Amino acid sequence: MKPRIAIDAMGGDEGVPVTIAGAALARHRHDSFQFLLVGDEGEIKAALEKHPNLRAVSEILHTDKVVSGDDKPSQALRKSRGSSMGLAINAVKAGDASAAVSAGNTGALMAMAKLALRTMAGIDRPALAALLPTLRESDVVMLDLGANTECDARNLVQFAVMGAAYSRILYGFDQPKVQLLNIGTEEQKGTESLREAAQHLRDSDGLPLDFDGFVEADKINRGNSDVVVCDGFSGNIALKAIEGSARFVTDLLRNAFTSSLRSKIGFLVSRPATELLQHHLDPNNHNGAVFMGLNGVVVKSHGSADEKGVANAVEVAARLVEEDITARIRDDLARVDGQEIGAKG
């Protein structure tokens, strides 16, 4: 099946031309991709003039209604039916698209996706998962990053299952190493929910993952974990701290290399190394957060993503469709000691 991706062309800070350019780049890399471009028809057609390769495999679904970045989820839901974001998600629900990609309001996107696609059986709450750079060639999958501020042990175990399935699809790991984000690595550290989730994961031999206890925030990017699991409150804070540190290092290097003539000469000598560092820290190279646990694939692109970032988000969506992430999660849930994790009791 050729992936058909519904793209909210009106979401994001950079406007329709960048979103369309990103879709065109993804199409250039993968000639099997097809697209449903949702938004203002005039703007989309104007942007497509520069990308005949994309125009040939795209259908336009017109709407001039847009969910703004200031809209609360409740406000967005009221106008979801006719908005570019809502129509893109509903295309997945109706089977007119394989997945939806939007760079719009995160809270609104989650609310609309959950309402339209519903949560999978065996999953209590969907989670937002993203890729973070590490010292290894493979990134680390981290979830939840803001969808759920409070989580119990059952939620954390479900997140571990979903994150491991995602890691196996991306990198082909048979047993991804999973760790829980905590304030220490000792077994007695952390909240009751964290300790209970850790015990459940240790006791669940049937899962296709390797549970390796707790990890502290300063070790997330070291590459010792394939999946880091946390509640959305802690995860969002950790993510923003990591992103801020990356920007700080980049700006610090830029200032240092432009402070004097000697520094500028030093920059020319070390340019290959600094460009490699910049490439590694560029969020566009890791763009594409996934709403895990829904009956359909929805990917959140960063609002400030450039065309390369948009293309990466599209590729993430297509990969999850091709590998049937929903079926993988469903199968894994049934393998926890022969019991369904989501069952309460």
Q: How far is CA 104 from CA 7, 84, 123, in A?
A: 11, 10, 25
Task: Examine the domain organization and report whether 216 and 111 are in the same domain.
Answer: no
The answer to whether position 169 is within a domain reads yes
Q: Report pTM.
A: 0.85
The answer to whether position 334 is within a domain reads no
Phi and psi at 91, nearest 5°, equal -65, -35
Task: Examine the domain organization and report whether 51 and 145 are in the same domain.
Answer: no
The answer to whether position 202 is within a domain reads yes
The answer to whether position 299 is within a domain reads yes
The answer to whether position 339 is within a domain reads no
Task: Examine the domain organization and report whether 202 and 273 are in the same domain.
Answer: yes
The answer to whether position 316 is within a domain reads yes
Residue 162 burial (CB count, 10 A): 28
Using an 8 Å Cβ cutoff, are 51 and 28 in contact?
A: no
Task: Examine the domain organization and report whether 34 and 129 are in the same domain.
Answer: no
Q: What is the pLDDT of residue 313?
A: 93
Task: Examine the domain organization and report whether 115 and 131 are in the same domain.
Answer: no
* Dist. CA 38–CA 43, nearest whole Å: 11
- Reported as a single tens digit per residue, the pLDDT across 278-293 is 555 566 677 888 999 9
- Reported as a single tens digit per residue, the pLDDT across 168-198 is 998 888 899 999 999 999 988 889 999 999 9
Task: Examine the domain organization and report whether 103 and 232 are in the same domain.
Answer: no
Task: Examine the domain organization and report whether 24 and 150 are in the same domain.
Answer: no
Task: Examine the domain organization and report whether 159 and 234 are in the same domain.
Answer: yes
Q: How far is CA 266 from CA 43, 160, 260, 277, 279, in A?
A: 45, 45, 10, 16, 19
The answer to whether position 314 is within a domain reads yes
Q: What angle do CA 46, 7, 117 make, to 5 degrees?
A: 155
Q: What is the pLDDT of residue 266?
A: 60
Task: Examine the domain organization and report whether 48 and 136 are in the same domain.
Answer: no
Beta partners for 292?
A: 127
Both structure tokens of 288 = 């594409």
The answer to whether position 341 is within a domain reads no
Average pLDDT over residues 121-135: 90
Task: Examine the domain organization and report whether 137 and 245 are in the same domain.
Answer: yes
For the chain, what is the domain count? Answer: 2
Please enumerate in sequence order all residues whose Cβ is within 8 A of that of 140, keeping only pairs 6 or more positions apart, or say none: 131, 132, 134, 220, 221, 223, 225, 226, 227, 228
Domain with residue 259: its CATH number is 3.40.718.10
Task: Examine the domain organization and report whether 137 and 115 are in the same domain.
Answer: no
Task: Examine the domain organization and report whether 7 and 27 are in the same domain.
Answer: yes
Please enumerate in sequence order all residues whose Cβ is within 8 A of that of 56, keeping only pairs 6 or more positions apart, or say none: none
Please enumerate in sequence order all residues whose Cβ is within 8 A of that of 277, keeping only pairs 6 or more positions apart, or say none: 249, 250, 253
Domain range for residue 194? 124-286
